[in-house]
Structures are given as structure tokens and as C-alpha cells.
Amino acid sequence: MKADASTEITGEKLEEFQHILKANQLKVTQPRLRVLDTISTKTSAISQPELEKILGSEIDRVTLYRILANFEEKGILHKVFDLNGTATYAFCSTKCSADHHHDQHVHFICSVCNSVFCLDEIALPKVKLPNNFSLHSIAINAVGLCDSCNEKQA
């Protein structure tokens, strides 16, 4: 009974998530809502293993994998690799759409806890390419200590 109360998504949050799904022609399902809700409570990007730990009893691995792949394809989430090469997921900017990601920002990765943060306010440099090269994406990672790891060190 307790678990039900904590997993129920209501009010503005529910409306917002329903809107995101509908805007991307996705059916509103409980697993999709739960994935959006879980990611929205995190300040850093979240990996599939972390999501499995939280949602494993509700959503099987294959479904979770499909939801994440689908959300990435639709421009709802973008993928960032942490220092171990594990994919982590963060919400896209509203400018992102299917197959067109505009998450042109620097990511910060903590070398102690391996958390990935989007630094939305830092834009990536324009890259001048040789003739006939075309650019698909740029990734710049800043590596250092996050605030909570800094606190622990002090």
C-alpha cells in the first residue's frame, strides 16, 4: 500500500509528463510516466542500471531499455557517457525534437562519484570543419569534483 502512494504521479507533474508524451505522439503509459518522474527528481543524469535499481520491481529491463531508446529518439532525453563509459540520460532542452538534438552544452562529470551534470548555460564552440565534412555532434566534458564531493573533502 505504501509503495503505491509513493509511486503515484499527480497534479502538475502528471499534466506536464502527459503533455511531453502526447507532444511526441507517445501513448501515456504508467512505465513511461514513472521513468519521466524518476529522472525529473534527479539533479544529475541517470544511468539505466540506476533506473533499474529504482524501478526494477515495476518495469522489466527490456521495457525500460525501449522507453529510454524511444525517449532519446524523440528528443525527450539525451545520452551522456560517464567516466566509465556508461550511458546516462538527462532531459533535453525544449528545442530538441525527433532526430534533432540541440543539447549543445558542456557536461560536467565528477571524478569521485561519477555523476553527470548538464551545464546548460555553457554553449559549445563553433567548429570549423574541413571541406565536405559534416558535423553530427560535439561532446565536451568538464571533469572535476561536484558540490557534494567537494563538501565531503572539506
Rounded to a whole number of angstroms, the minimum distance from the CB of residue 103 to Zn ion is 4
Number of residues that bind Zn ion (CB under 5 A): 12
Binding of Zn ion by 67 (CB under 5 A)? no
Binding of Zn ion by 113 (CB under 5 A)? yes
Which C-beta is closer to Zn ion: that of 28 or that of 142?
Answer: 142
Q: Is 37 annotated as a binding residue?
A: no
With 0-12 CB in 10 A as exposed, 13-18 as middle and 19+ as buried, what is 75?
Answer: buried
Binding of Zn ion by 28 (CB under 5 A)? no
15 contact partners, CB below 8 Å, separation of at least 6:
none
Binding of Zn ion by 76 (CB under 5 A)? no
Rounded to a whole number of angstroms, the minimum distance from the CB of residue 6 to Zn ion is 26
**In this structure, what DSSP letter does residue 123 have?**
E
Q: Is 120 annotated as a binding residue?
A: no
Provide the strand spans (E) within 23-136. Answer: 46-47, 77-81, 87-91, 105-110, 116-123
Rounded to a whole number of angstroms, the minimum distance from the CB of residue 96 to Zn ion is 3
Q: Is 4 annotated as a binding residue?
A: no
Q: Is 101 annotated as a binding residue?
A: yes
Q: Which phi-psi region, left, alpha or beta, contains residue 114 (left: φ > 0; alpha: ψ -120 to 50)?
A: left
Residue 89 bridge partners (DSSP): 46, 79
Tell me the C-alpha to C-alpha distance, in Å, between residue 129 and each of 16, 31, 100, 119, 136. 39, 42, 20, 25, 12
Binding of Zn ion by 123 (CB under 5 A)? no
Which residues contact Zn ion (rule: CB under 5 A)?
Answer: 78, 90, 92, 96, 101, 103, 110, 112-113, 118, 146, 149
User: Which residues are annotated as part of the binding site for Zn(2+)?
Assistant: 110, 113, 146, 149
